[in-house]
Amino acid sequence: MNEAYIKNVIYGVAIGDALGMPHQFKPRNSFMTHPVTNMTGFGAFNLPAGTWSDDTSMTLAALDSLNDGLNYPKMMENFVRWIENGAYTPTGYAFDIGKGTQDAISAFQKGTPPLSSGSTDETNNGNGALMRLTPIALYLAVSPHSESSTFEIIRNFTRLTHGHSRSIVASGILTNIMLQVINHPKRPILENLTNGINQARRYYDRKPVYQAELHYFSRLFNLAQLSDMSQSSIKSSGYVVDTLESVCWCLLTEPNSSKCLLKAVNLGDDTDTIASILGGLLSMNPQTNFPIDWQRQLQGQNQLNTIIKNSSNYLK
């Protein structure tokens, strides 16, 4: 996996994050008359255009840890550096940190082992694990594992911050979609979505601990029906199921990559995370090119480029 490919993917994550960041928390109806059409700033956190948030920061922290292989304590230490010291940020300080993520990192700091840090409570099913899955997909693409080992890695990566079975299933679905796009970029997106979702569904359906969670993802198991749904039927909250549905619905209903990303932002609510996940996923197809102005406006590019360059030495 060469540096240019990794850069395309990570910049996709950051571009989606930066497009959505100023507009998060806004209700959908606020975009009806004033839709987002370009990179803007000074919204939710009063920061310049091109500023990325926790989605990209956690992605970079996870990616930076992989130079030691799958080192979960190091990942958590990097997350601590992000929160405590502003590492992996374009601003010098961390902001927009989800409660589940904050609680897990605090638990780790107090001595809880990394793989037990994420709460298993049902209320801890925000999308804080989904937002940082891109590095683990890249890792698995260059270092193939058996099916059981692949899903165990996804489980471990997720429960650093989110230990409930529903979040683990959501991560398994999204990671397998990402692997399909990485490995088969020329296939239609519907085929890659279908294959990734079905692979995860078959695996989790064989595991009693996850079987009870599958009905929450029922709309993803019928993509033809999902693609026919109106925007009003799609929820764009930070709940893992809503986030996954929003990402897939945008992919199914808008073939143009830039318009697809803007469509995600204009759903409202958790605009930065949904667009960030979508930006990374779209960019796993090497043919994806977002407007050059979006890339030029990104803050913190020296930091992005350094981590990307280093990662190309071990993502081979």
Residue 44 pLDDT exceeds 90 = no
Burial 66-79 (b: 16+ CB within 10 A, else e): beeeeebebbbbbb
Residues of the chain with pLDDT > 90, as a percent, come to: 94
The two structure tokens encoding residue 17: 């994050």
The two structure tokens encoding residue 215: 């009905």
* Separation of alpha carbons 250 and 237, rounded Å: 14
For 68, half-sphere exposure in the C-beta direction (CA atoms, 13 angstrom radius) is 11
Section 238-254 average pLDDT: 98
Q: What is the pLDDT of residue 68?
A: 81
* Separation of alpha carbons 42 and 62, rounded Å: 28
Q: What is the pLDDT of residue 252?
A: 98
pLDDT band at residue 316 under the 50/70/90 scheme: confident
Task: Tell me whether residue 288 is annotated as binding.
Answer: no
* Separation of alpha carbons 158 and 196, rounded Å: 18
pLDDT band at residue 205 under the 50/70/90 scheme: very high
Residue 271 pLDDT exceeds 90 = yes
**Residue 126's beta-bridge partner residues?**
239
Q: What is the DSSP string of 188-256?
A: -HHHHHHHHHHHHHHHHHT-HHHHTTGGGGGGGG-HHHHHHS-GGG---SSBHHHHHHHHHHHHHH--S
Q: What is the DSSP string of 250-273?
A: HHHH--SHHHHHHHHHTT-SSHHH
**Is 178:196 a contact under the CB 8 Å cutoff?**
yes
Residues of the chain with pLDDT > 70, as a percent, come to: 100
φ/ψ of 114, rounded to 5, equals -50, -45
Task: Tell me whether residue 272 is annotated as binding.
Answer: yes
**Is 122:164 a contact under the CB 8 Å cutoff?**
yes
Q: What is the pLDDT of residue 168?
A: 98
Task: Tell me whether residue 68 is annotated as binding.
Answer: no
Which residue has tokens 């080992």?
A: 149
Tens of pLDDT, residue by residue over 87-129, are 999 999 999 899 999 999 999 999 999 999 999 999 999 999 9
Question: Domains, the chain, ranges and CATH?
Answer: 3-311 (1.10.4080.10)
**Is 205:211 a contact under the CB 8 Å cutoff?**
yes
Tens of pLDDT, residue by residue over 151-202, are 999 999 999 999 999 999 999 999 999 999 999 999 999 999 999 999 999 9
Q: What is the pLDDT of residue 213?
A: 98
Task: Tell me whether residue 17 is annotated as binding.
Answer: no
Section 270-279 average pLDDT: 97
More confident of the two residues 307 and 25: 307
pLDDT band at residue 32 under the 50/70/90 scheme: confident
Residue 33 pLDDT exceeds 90 = no
The one-letter amino acid code at 178 reads: M
Q: Which helix (H) or strand (E) holds 183?
A: helix 165-183
More confident of the two residues 153 and 29: 153
Task: Tell me whether residue 55 is annotated as binding.
Answer: yes
* Separation of alpha carbons 14 and 277, rounded Å: 9
Task: Tell me whether residue 64 is annotated as binding.
Answer: no
